[in-house]
Protein backbone atom coordinates (compact mmCIF):
# COMPACT_ATOMS: atom_id res chain seq x y z
CA UNK A 1 0.00 0.00 0.00
CA UNK A 2 2.88 2.42 0.73
CA UNK A 3 3.70 2.51 -3.00
CA UNK A 4 0.25 3.99 -3.69
CA UNK A 5 0.63 6.85 -1.20
CA UNK A 6 2.01 10.04 -2.78
CA UNK A 7 5.61 10.60 -1.72
CA UNK A 8 4.80 13.97 -0.16
CA UNK A 9 2.27 12.18 2.13
CA UNK A 10 4.18 9.02 3.10
CA UNK A 11 5.32 10.59 6.38
CA UNK A 12 1.64 10.96 7.40
CA UNK A 13 0.99 7.26 6.84
CA UNK A 14 4.17 6.12 8.58
CA UNK A 15 3.56 8.35 11.61
CA UNK A 16 0.08 6.86 11.97
CA UNK A 17 1.46 3.33 11.61
CA UNK A 18 4.03 4.21 14.27
CA UNK A 19 1.26 5.49 16.53
CA UNK A 20 -0.73 2.25 16.45
CA UNK A 21 2.15 -0.25 16.48
CA UNK A 22 3.32 -1.16 19.98
CA UNK A 23 6.87 -0.36 21.10
CA UNK A 24 9.22 -2.96 19.61
CA UNK A 25 6.37 -3.99 17.27
CA UNK A 26 6.91 -4.95 13.66
CA UNK A 27 6.07 -3.44 10.29
CA UNK A 28 6.22 -5.72 7.25
CA UNK A 29 6.06 -4.28 3.75
CA UNK A 30 5.76 -6.45 0.68
CA UNK A 31 5.32 -4.67 -2.61
CA UNK A 32 5.84 -5.15 -6.30
CA UNK A 33 9.37 -4.36 -7.43
CA UNK A 34 10.68 -4.90 -10.94
CA UNK A 35 14.40 -4.54 -11.41
CA UNK A 36 13.77 -3.11 -14.87
CA UNK A 37 11.39 -0.48 -13.42
CA UNK A 38 12.78 2.98 -12.83
CA UNK A 39 12.69 3.53 -9.08
CA UNK A 40 12.47 6.83 -7.26
CA UNK A 41 9.94 8.22 -9.71
CA UNK A 42 6.26 9.03 -9.25
CA UNK A 43 4.12 7.42 -11.92
CA UNK A 44 0.49 7.33 -12.92
CA UNK A 45 -0.56 4.22 -14.76
CA UNK A 46 -3.79 4.09 -16.74
CA UNK A 47 -5.84 0.91 -16.62
CA UNK A 48 -8.65 0.12 -19.01
CA UNK A 49 -11.39 -2.11 -17.61
CA UNK A 50 -14.89 -3.09 -18.65
CA UNK A 51 -16.10 -0.28 -16.34
CA UNK A 52 -13.92 2.37 -17.95
CA UNK A 53 -10.44 3.76 -17.57
CA UNK A 54 -8.90 4.74 -14.27
CA UNK A 55 -5.55 5.97 -13.01
CA UNK A 56 -3.31 4.30 -10.45
CA UNK A 57 -0.62 6.25 -8.61
CA UNK A 58 2.56 4.25 -8.01
CA UNK A 59 5.97 5.02 -6.57
CA UNK A 60 8.59 2.29 -6.84
CA UNK A 61 11.00 2.75 -3.96
CA UNK A 62 14.65 1.89 -4.43
CA UNK A 63 15.78 -0.43 -1.61
CA UNK A 64 18.13 2.13 0.00
CA UNK A 65 15.45 4.81 -0.29
CA UNK A 66 12.88 2.65 1.51
CA UNK A 67 15.41 1.73 4.21
CA UNK A 68 16.20 5.40 4.83
CA UNK A 69 12.52 6.40 4.91
CA UNK A 70 11.61 3.72 7.46
CA UNK A 71 14.63 4.31 9.65
CA UNK A 72 13.83 8.02 9.78
CA UNK A 73 10.10 7.67 10.44
CA UNK A 74 9.49 4.26 12.00
CA UNK A 75 12.41 2.23 13.32
CA UNK A 76 15.24 -0.12 12.51
CA UNK A 77 15.06 -2.10 9.28
CA UNK A 78 15.87 -5.68 10.25
CA UNK A 79 15.49 -7.25 6.81
CA UNK A 80 15.23 -5.94 3.27
CA UNK A 81 15.19 -8.28 0.30
CA UNK A 82 14.43 -7.83 -3.37
CA UNK A 83 13.49 -10.52 -5.83
CA UNK A 84 12.77 -10.06 -9.50
CA UNK A 85 9.17 -9.18 -8.71
CA UNK A 86 8.88 -7.97 -5.12
CA UNK A 87 10.59 -6.14 -2.29
CA UNK A 88 10.14 -7.36 1.26
CA UNK A 89 11.04 -5.14 4.17
CA UNK A 90 10.74 -5.84 7.89
CA UNK A 91 11.25 -3.04 10.42
CA UNK A 92 11.02 -2.90 14.19
CA UNK A 93 9.52 0.17 15.84
CA UNK A 94 11.78 2.48 17.83
CA UNK A 95 11.21 2.45 21.57
Per-residue pLDDT at 40 exceeds 80: no
pLDDT tens digits for range 72-94: 999 999 999 988 888 999 999 98
What pLDDT shows up at residue 43?
86
Per-residue pLDDT at 66 exceeds 80: yes
* 70 vs 90: CA distance, rounded Å: 10
Alpha-carbon dihedral sign for residues 2, 21, 84, 67:
positive
pLDDT category at 62 given cuts 50, 70, 90 is confident
Can you list the domains of the chain with their CATH numbers? 2-93 (3.40.50.150)
Per-residue pLDDT at 55 exceeds 70: yes
List the beta strands (DSSP E) in the chain.
26-32, 42-49, 52-59, 75-82, 86-93
Amino acid sequence: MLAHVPVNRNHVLLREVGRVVKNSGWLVISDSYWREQEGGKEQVQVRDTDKGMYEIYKYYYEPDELRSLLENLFGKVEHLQTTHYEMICVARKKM
